[in-house]
A and B are shown apart, each in its own frame.
Chain A
Amino acid sequence: MISGSPKSQRVEYRVAAADSNPYVILSAALASGLWGIENKVEPEPVVTGNAYDRKYPARLALPRTLWESAQRLKGSKMARDWFGDAFVEHFAATREWEEREFRKHISDWELARYFEII
């Protein structure tokens, strides 16, 4: 969050990368915040210093792959409530497809690493 005057006080959503769909990511950023207001959700203690040096509770760990993220989305009651079953099912399926397409591909790294030695 960024503190300032009534005009400049705001939340900066820093997990966001440039590759996201602006409508989809903003839906997630806003709906999760509004859900927090609705349910009076207290944040975890604020982080000071280098966030990478700390250990955090497992519940805050982000999924490591797109496949895992898609499974978490499908299982999210909040997502189904705010975004609708049709959107959640469709979006999760398109992410699963993306990962399936990726798994078809044999990378240069794999070839160089395993081709001869393994």
Chain B
Amino acid sequence: MPGGAPLVQGVEMEPRQVRSAADARAIVEERGVNYVKVGAFDIDGIMRGKYISRDKFLSSLDGGFGFCDVVLGWDCQDQLYDNVQYTGWHTGYPDAPVRLLPDTCRTLPFEDNGLFFLGEFSPPGEAVCSRGLLRRVLERGRAMGFEAYVGFEYEFFVFKETPESVREKNYRGLTPMAPGWFGYSVIRNSTGNAFYRQLLDHCRDMDMAIEGLHEETGPGVMEAAIAVDKALAAADKAALFKTFAKVIAQQNGFMATFMAKCSKDWPGQSGHIHVSLKSKSGDSVFHEAGKPHSMSDAMRWFVGGQQKLMPELLAMVAPTINSYRRLIPGFWAPTDATWVSRTARRHCV
């Protein structure tokens, strides 16, 4: 860990202890880092970021910093949208103000424990910032008396390929991390142990700890369940996980894909979300002993709302052309807004 003078209390601050701008200033100064990595998520959940110098970072802590707003005006292939109001040639792509979020400070274990901070677009970009959107939804839920707890779990394919080799092969006939159908195989997770271990360790170091990780059925498919947290923190962890799982894979000579469906021969890749609500006093809003499925009225209505609105909100749930390849009958994914009941197999909030 890079050196630096200890805090007044004689204890070196850990990145996840950072809460305020003053803390962020302290940890950057204490560690004597020259550059800080900052990032913000675009509309597709892709992290756009850069390194900024210590001086620039410190001066940005209060007033924020500018990020060319083209990151809100282009698609996942950096092609400029011609049909959005927010930005375009009609606005000249000015800088979008970004607010740094001190309490998202994390270590970068693969960059000599350098420091990383997330940012969020301030107005006017805030209206189309996905993190800002979630924050507003959560504020409204809080006004109703609810705090949401969430756990994301992801399936992803891992290939023994590089960014160059997948292009040379035109994304066909790729070599999976390991062959065959080896759901929950301990042979696979012991043989390919270095990558598994690094993924587990780095995710823990970056506070997006994995609660369960296993080889899914299908060649080179993994499933990672990220530990439950309050909704905004859980979404940060999920978005960071998707970004850095790819990084860790590439550093191990693999490529991870989170496409919904990358082959007609294999199952699609889910990103299930586990949600529970607590009241202000910390009690479960969803559980009521004695009712069918132990389901409170609030939980039943919650499911009712999700079910009724799923067709009209599907664009936010299935946001790519490829998403719709997964939503076909017989492949473990739904085609209608239905619900089922089952018994808990995983401890959750």
A and B interact? yes
Total A-B contacts with CB atoms under 8 angstroms apart: 374
Tell which of B127, B343, B349 touches A7, judged by Cβ atoms closer than 8 Å.
B349
Do residues A12 and B320 form an inter-chain contact, with CB atoms below 8 A?
no
Whole-angstrom distance between the alpha carbons of A38 and B277 in the complex?
Answer: 14
DSSP class of B's interface residues: helix, strand, loop or mixed?
Answer: mixed
Contact flag A29-B294 (CB < 8 Å), given A22-B45, A23-B131: no
Check if B247 is an interface residue, CB within 8 A of chain A. no
Q: Kindly list chain B residues whose C-beta atoms are within 8 Å of the C-beta of A73.
A: 312-316
Hey, which chain B residues are within 8 Å of A7, CB to CB? Answer: 284, 347-349
B157 to A, closest residue via Cβ: A18
B319 with A95: CB separation less than 8 A:
yes
Q: When the two chains form the complex, which single residue of B127, B133, B304, B337 contacts A27, counting CB atoms closer than 8 Å?
A: B133
- Give the total of B residues in contact with A, Cβ under 8 Å: 107
Asked if B303 is at the interface of the complex by the 8 Å CB criterion, the answer is: yes
CB distance from A7 to the nearest CB of B (A): 6
Residue from A10, A32, A73 having most chain B Cβ neighbours under 10 A: A10
Interface residues of B in 331-349 (CB under 8 A from A): 333-349
Alpha-carbon separation in the docked complex, A24 to B81 (Å): 19
Interface residues of B (CB under 8 A from A): 41, 43-45, 75, 79, 81-86, 127-128, 130-131, 133-134, 136-138, 140-141, 144, 146, 148, 150, 152, 154-156, 231, 234-235, 238-239, 242, 258-261, 268-277, 283-284, 286-287, 293-295, 297-324, 326-327, 329-330, 333-349
The 7 closest A-B pairs by CB, nearest first: A36-B305, A4-B344, A21-B45, A41-B304, A69-B315, A22-B238, A17-B260
Instruction: Write 15 A-B pairs (CB below 8 A) sorted by A numbering.
Output: A1-B303, A6-B287, A17-B261, A24-B134, A26-B273, A34-B144, A35-B309, A36-B305, A40-B304, A63-B311, A63-B315, A79-B312, A83-B137, A87-B127, A101-B75
